[in-house]
Structure 1
């Protein structure tokens, strides 16, 4: 079987339409249809069937798509492992949120530059959902992402995540404000991230446990801008402990339940054997878990 056709079948199982697969891969819908039909001839069985104006995978097509995850990962691993002792060389495409780049990637890049000068690292700043999409299209080699213990992320089965570190989060309020229970902030305006839904999920979970529905007014990437909004009295929001917030912002601990951000290195299954990527993964810093110092913030754009 042609592995390129297997990849298209796997994308069809996830995206659900020939048109979306074609748009994702820069092909025409007719080309995708022809490739899936050719794969069906190779497999000796029908892989898709009509469903109104769309198509759906047959039971055999779904089973083959499940096998494709393992097959494609094995092909990647075999290709990248042909010379496992070769000196790492090549361009690594890495995307991540700002604090993981500062905390984990930059120290690793400094070490790589000394140990393996033929490895080049291209850095892009993206939120997790954006990075996952780039990984799925094979436009990235490594994504530095995060989720929260109260809002765990779900991964596609062809992606592999390695936890790097965790960080406690709290509630950011004006510094002079007396501390109260979480429910005492029910009537306040709230600030959440504009490009990732995880912190809003955490907020709504905490608010539900406290018996209220939060009024989300502001959607902001930059933690410094979140500070400014809090100081000027325009709202409150979740912030990391240990970060050097603007003077006038106090981060109250959340203990019932606590909130932990978890940072990950995510790769496509089978890619971690590629020497440049393996060298970088080995060098990613792993600070003490549940650290509360030495970070400039853990949200995109901080």
Structure 2
């Protein structure tokens, strides 16, 4: 049933005359009659009956008007909620990596609770490939992902990826194994640890790609022995002497871990906000993405 036909029936119940309905809806009496007849065929019930020169609704017609009133009100409410200028309301589902959620999303949720009480944000922690799979399957509305400049990711054409921020990464090593003067280039840093065990990410291959790329440039094959998607655990592994691994330069390290800068080539993590094409204008999603972007640019 088309909502325009339901609107015709509701107006007929209110005005009691096809001519009055035609005048109100700026159409013809013949069109009103055709719309009612089509609606009757769709429902399989007689909706009107003659009453002198006029018509009146049958019991089935009156019952359908009750449903139509609710349906039309729901459609109008949906249009208000989805309109570009509407006040954000509803539920936005976000999947992203832990660092982004902790630093960029959780503080915003507190702000939204005060300013937009009808807006709810659901959070799921996932690595990029997992988040993108959920986004493609329409199980989340926004994916916060990352890649590295030395391990660029490809994004499906059905998705839109917007850059958020970049951060420099270095090599975390045991303090006892780091001399006082860092090597000049990333290749030289890696060459110094050619015999070390290496720690990679257990749920994302980007770290491993960066490690293997720089190791190859330094003339050796990295021995990736341990894996973890927790930066805290990576640091604990380094402190325990289990190996060396990539860590963000802007993150304070625990005692026993020394960060060596990686430059020439730099190792840069690049964060992105990814949405399905055509969905970014939905007011709740647009608001959340905008706030995350602003927070990212503020550092």
TM-score (norm 2): 0.68
Q: Distance in 1 between matches of 2:80 and 2:142?
A: 15
Kindly indicate whether the alpha-carbon contact (under 8 Å) linking 1:135 and 1:267 is maintained by their aligned counterparts in 2.
yes
Is it true that 1:237 corresponds to 2:245 in the alignment? yes
Matched with 1:95 is 95
**Residues 247, 288 of structure 1: alpha-carbon distance in 2 compared, 3 angstrom cutoff:** farther
Is it true that 1:220 corresponds to 2:228 in the alignment? yes
Instruction: Please identify runs of 4+ aligned residues in structure 1 that moved more than 3 A.
Output: 79-82, 285-289
Kindly indicate whether the alpha-carbon contact (under 8 Å) linking 1:199 and 1:238 is maintained by their aligned counterparts in 2.
yes
Kindly indicate whether the alpha-carbon contact (under 8 Å) linking 1:80 and 1:273 is maintained by their aligned counterparts in 2.
no
Q: Distance in 2 between matches of 1:219 and 1:251?
A: 18
Q: Residue 192 of structure 2 aligns to a residue in which SS?
A: helix
Kindly indicate whether the alpha-carbon contact (under 8 Å) linking 1:172 and 1:239 is maintained by their aligned counterparts in 2.
yes
Kindly indicate whether the alpha-carbon contact (under 8 Å) linking 1:164 and 1:286 is maintained by their aligned counterparts in 2.
no
Q: Distance in 2 between matches of 1:238 and 1:82?
A: 43
1:26-65 to 2 correspondences below 5 Å = none
Matched with 1:76 is none
How far residue 108 of structure 1 moved from its aligned partner, in angstroms, is 2.3
Kindly indicate whether the alpha-carbon contact (under 8 Å) linking 1:188 and 1:236 is maintained by their aligned counterparts in 2.
yes
Q: Residue 176 of structure 2 aligns to a residue in which SS?
A: coil
Q: Which moved more, 1:157-166 or 1:279-288?
A: 279-288
Is it true that 1:211 corresponds to 2:228 in the alignment? no
Matched with 1:114 is 114
How far residue 106 of structure 1 moved from its aligned partner, in angstroms, is 1.8
How far residue 229 of structure 1 moved from its aligned partner, in angstroms, is 1.1
Matched with 1:280 is 288
Q: CA RMSD in A?
A: 1.8
How far residue 184 of structure 1 moved from its aligned partner, in angstroms, is 1.5
Matched with 1:56 is none
Matched with 1:186 is 194
TM-score (norm 1): 0.67
Matched with 1:86 is 86
How far residue 288 of structure 1 moved from its aligned partner, in angstroms, is 5.0
Structure 2: 5+ residue stretches without partners? 1-78
Q: Which has the larger radius of gyration?
A: 2
Structure 1: 5+ residue stretches without partners? 1-78, 292-302
Larger helix percent: 2
How far residue 219 of structure 1 moved from its aligned partner, in angstroms, is 1.0
- Number of residue pairs matched? 212
Kindly indicate whether the alpha-carbon contact (under 8 Å) linking 1:81 and 1:273 is maintained by their aligned counterparts in 2.
no
Kindly indicate whether the alpha-carbon contact (under 8 Å) linking 1:80 and 1:274 is maintained by their aligned counterparts in 2.
no
